[in-house]
Amino acid sequence: MRIVVTGGSGFLGSHLSDRLLAEGHHVVAVDNFITGRKSNIEHIDSDRFEFIEHDVSEFIDIKGQVDFVMHLASPASPIDFERFPIQILKVGALGTHNALGLAKAKSAGFFIASTSEVYGDPLVNPQPESYWGNVNPVGIRGVYDEAKRYAEAMTMAYHRIHSIDTRIVRIFNTYGPRMRPKDGRVMPTFISQALRGEPLTVFGEGQQTRSFCYYEDLIDGFYRLLLSGENYPVNIGNANEISMLELAQTIIRVTGSNSTIVYKPLPQDDPRLRRPDISRATRILEWEAKVALEAGLIKTIEYFKAEEEVV
Ligand code: NAD
Ligand code: UDP
């Protein structure tokens, strides 16, 4: 297939591009580098890879055949919700509309990277796809949550009205090499702090939970979903839940750091719990996460050590 990947120079978009190329597909990556990096795709040496620098909130012009549009473009870190709120709303709304329009014009399939944030601060745990969520539309996180909820609604409307062959993946916290050390998300933040011997900044009392998926597992779930005929949302994430305090302690232990822990205020609307119900992914895709937290951490820490040496 010839596949357009928006957000192709980001953390997940670059790993997805690697996987698609390894499977023999052609990739057209589109990115405006708002949170992505050229270095994530510099290693790609293939005549089946094309890169276009472009903001997908503007009309997307791709020449030739396209079989699938995989729309990953969007800032994704909570610190960006305050920094780039309008760009996030635009890429979720206008970017998704343009990417769907491209899929329609090319008679291609459409795959959207949605998020566990559609469940907001969930009142049920774990979260199944049937849960409608608990989102504050006017809070700081609302720009991201509502953009993704709108993107899902727009995707389903194109499915119903224009018969677009859709895929909706609700991604739960994913980590690994190629995250930026200053990305702001908890994994790169804690690992960078531990490697520098600085205190780890736990927000609130650190009792809030997340469930961390190693990127290789996630990308495998993406690929299975792509090849499946499933048009409705599917959660992809690791079902092992951990508190942020436990995560900080684990990272200090695995890095062998002598960092301490400091407590900082909990951000507004920070979800108290998060764990995917992956029964749909298991049933439809025969997928579950395989990489244990410590194994994924060891590989991610190696990457961040190398990054620290470069910086
Ligand atoms: P990332 O910031 O590394 O990647 C996002 C990429 O999109 C970047 O390369 C950025 O430059 C690009 N981009 C943003 N706006 C754009 C625009 N208007 N035009 C063109 N390119 C644009 O983040 P990531 O973790 O790789 O996230 C990829 C996708 O997965 C996002 O849609 C995100 O919401 C979703 N997601 C990620 C996670 C996770 O844990 N990593 C969880 C839930 C959802
Ligand atoms: N967090 C933290 N310290 C940090 C960064 C994040 O304790 O330096 C917490 C944050 O409050 C949240 C969790 O870690 O409860 C995960 O945050 P992240 O920004 O990775 O993503 P989220 O899952 O909230 O979208």
132 Cβ below 6 A of ligand 1: no
Q: Is the pLDDT of residue 122 over 90?
A: yes
118 Cβ below 6 A of ligand 2: no
pLDDT of res. 131: 98
Task: Give the number of whichever ligand sits closest to the CA of residue 78.
Answer: 2
Q: Is the pLDDT of residue 212 over 90?
A: yes
- Clarify whether 144 is annotated catalytic: yes
- 114 CA: nearest ligand 1 atom: 44
- 203 CA: nearest ligand 2 atom: 7
pTM as predicted? 0.97
C-alpha 155 – ligand 2 centre gap (Å): 28
pLDDT of res. 310: 59
- 148 CA: nearest ligand 1 atom: 34
Structural domain spans, the chain = 2-174+214-236, 176-210+240-275+292-303
- 173 CA: nearest ligand 1 atom: 40
Taking only the tens place, the pLDDT of each residue in 183-196 is 999 999 999 999 99
241 Cβ below 6 A of ligand 2: no
Taking only the tens place, the pLDDT of each residue in 40-87 is 999 999 999 999 999 999 999 999 999 999 999 999 999 999 999 999
User: CATH homologous superfamily for 176-210+240-275+292-303?
Assistant: UDP-galactose 4-epimerase, domain 1 (3.90.25.10)
Q: Radius of gyration of the chain from Cα atoms?
A: 19
d(CA 205, CA 42) in angstroms, rounded, equals 40
Cβ-Cβ contacts under 8 Å for 185 (sequence gap 6 or more): 76, 77, 78, 173, 175, 179
C-alpha 138 – ligand 2 centre gap (Å): 20
Q: Is the pLDDT of residue 227 over 90?
A: yes
Taking only the tens place, the pLDDT of each residue in 42-51 is 999 999 999 9
Cβ-Cβ contacts under 8 Å for 237 (sequence gap 6 or more): 116, 170, 171, 172, 173, 174, 211, 213, 218, 275, 276, 278, 289
Task: Give the number of whichever ligand sits closest to the CA of residue 14.
Answer: 1
Residue nearest to atom 12 of ligand 2 (CA): 270
Over residues 144-152, mean pLDDT: 98
DSSP-derived secondary structure letter, 42:
T
d(CA 306, CA 311) in angstroms, rounded, equals 9
177 Cβ below 6 A of ligand 1: no
Kindly report the CATH class assigned to 2-174+214-236. Answer: alpha beta
Residue nearest to atom 17 of ligand 1 (CA): 55
How many residues are listed for the chain in this entry?
Answer: 311
The helix/strand/coil state of 163 is: coil
The helix/strand/coil state of 305 is: helix
Taking only the tens place, the pLDDT of each residue in 247-274 is 999 999 999 999 999 999 999 999 999 9
Over residues 134-155, mean pLDDT: 98
pLDDT of res. 308: 76
With the most atoms of ligand 1 within 8 angstroms of its CB, the residue from 79, 83, 155, 171 to mutate is 171
Beta strands in the chain (DSSP E): 2-6, 26-31, 49-53, 68-71, 109-115, 166-171, 174-175, 200-203, 209-211, 213-214, 233-236, 241-243, 261-264
Q: Is the pLDDT of residue 101 over 80?
A: yes
- β-bridge partners, 241: 211
Would you place residue 102 in the very low, low, confident or very high pLDDT band (cuts 50, 70, 90)?
A: very high
d(CA 229, CA 114) in angstroms, rounded, equals 17
